[in-house]
A = this chain, B = another copy of it.
């Protein structure tokens, strides 16, 4: 029985607790908070009543000493660097759900997040945590950078196609649509019910922080520099990201070949599913689960390729993938506690 700490008490922390309630091999022994110190987590999140009654402690890492074998860092960007360093010193493996260890290039990090990184050496030891792409490295690391929600939805369909040279690396548009929980629980004008309901809008056009993260991973897959256009939109729903991705067939490539590449890559995966031809991914079909549904429409005449992926931004886009990474890092079966069917309707 491994002992687990969670640093932070936002939506991703709550989803970690939901998932870990079904994990027989671990026990959550600590939750650290700044606003809810001394409160039971089921008072903060009453949906956890009967599933977790752990009491939040102060965000002092000494509270994890001797009490945890691994920890999830579910913190605002910029806070994880010293914490991860400290926990690793204490022999605690870390899965960071923030952005601090995702970007290899410190200069890019500092430009997009407006922060000094503080520990570029540590950064070099982190593994980017998409198990379907980096499974073996994740098994061996003590520090996983859990991907952003948008990057997960964009990278999974594109990476194998770029790796195979099957689509144009220089013409990729990602039009993404997300539910509101991705913005976190802190009240803000943009997450006010009346701003979101009966509305859709783009935001962060040309400036969103997930763009360089996507570009980094796609470049790695393609083996050359990939530039992307990424436009996120806010949709009136709690959970879900639909990514509609536009690219072109590489010269000599046929539409049918794309499906074959994806099916070959993901045919053995538990959490990534290529839907039957003509069935479009719906975010409602992965709600609350760790599943990713993918499909594509390609046209040999026009060379146009449309890839679509759907995932739950809090689960496969955050906490579910984090548990998947934890399972690999601690030696559990990768799907332990993650075979949660989606809730529909």
Closest to A342 in B: B47
Given A202-B308, A235-B200, A299-B206, A47-B246 contact (CB < 8 Å): no
The minimal Cβ–Cβ distance linking A46 to chain B, given in whole angstroms, is: 5
Q: How many residues of A contact B (CB 8 A)?
A: 84
Is the pair A282, B238 in contact by a Cβ cutoff of 8 Å?
A: no
A50 is contacted by which of B14, B201, B291 (Cβ under 8 Å)?
A: B291
Q: How far is the CA of A11 from the CA of B284 in the complex (A)?
A: 14
Given A284-B195, A339-B22, A202-B244 contact (CB < 8 Å): yes
Contacts of A195 in B (CB 8 A): 193, 284, 345
Q: How far is the CA of A192 from the CA of B180 in the complex (A)?
A: 9
Q: How far is the CA of A319 from the CA of B286 in the complex (A)?
A: 20
Q: How far is the CA of A297 from the CA of B229 in the complex (A)?
A: 11
Is the pair A200, B345 in contact by a Cβ cutoff of 8 Å?
A: no
Contacts of A242 in B (CB 8 A): 200-202, 233
Contacts of A175 in B (CB 8 A): 175, 244, 246
Contacts of A293 in B (CB 8 A): 46, 49
Is the pair B198, A46 in contact by a Cβ cutoff of 8 Å?
A: no
A341 is contacted by which of B18, B205, B344 (Cβ under 8 Å)?
A: B18
A262-318 residues at the B interface, CB under 8 angstroms: 270, 273, 275-276, 279-289, 291, 293, 297, 299, 302, 304, 306, 308, 310, 314
A199 is contacted by which of B196, B279, B282 (Cβ under 8 Å)?
A: B282
A193 is contacted by which of B192, B246, B282, B285 (Cβ under 8 Å)?
A: B192
Contacts of A233 in B (CB 8 A): 177, 242, 244
Contacts of A341 in B (CB 8 A): 17-18, 21-22, 47-48, 51
Is the pair A49, B345 in contact by a Cβ cutoff of 8 Å?
A: no
Q: How far is the CA of A344 from the CA of B273 in the complex (A)?
A: 24
A236 is contacted by which of B231, B235, B246 (Cβ under 8 Å)?
A: B235
Is the pair B185, A188 in contact by a Cβ cutoff of 8 Å?
A: no
Given A188-B187, A195-B345, A281-B229 contact (CB < 8 Å): no
A187 is contacted by which of B192, B284, B310 (Cβ under 8 Å)?
A: B192
Contacts of A63 in B (CB 8 A): none
Contacts of A287 in B (CB 8 A): 47, 198-199, 343
Closest to A314 in B: B345
Q: How far is the CA of A284 from the CA of B273 in the complex (A)?
A: 29
Is the pair B192, A45 in contact by a Cβ cutoff of 8 Å?
A: no
Is the pair B185, A192 in contact by a Cβ cutoff of 8 Å?
A: yes
Q: How far is the CA of A48 from the CA of B306 in the complex (A)?
A: 24
Is the pair B49, A275 in contact by a Cβ cutoff of 8 Å?
A: yes
Given A47-B286, A345-B181, A280-B236 contact (CB < 8 Å): no
7 contacts between A and B (CB under 8 A): A21-B341, A22-B341, A197-B198, A198-B283, A199-B240, A229-B306, A235-B236
Instruction: Identify 15 new A-B residue pairs, CB closer than 8 A, beyond the known A201-B280, A202-B306, A229-B302.
Output: A46-B275, A47-B284, A47-B289, A47-B343, A191-B194, A197-B237, A198-B237, A198-B240, A198-B345, A200-B237, A200-B283, A201-B242, A227-B302, A235-B235, A343-B343
3 shortest interchain CB distances as A-B pairs: A199-B284, A194-B345, A187-B187
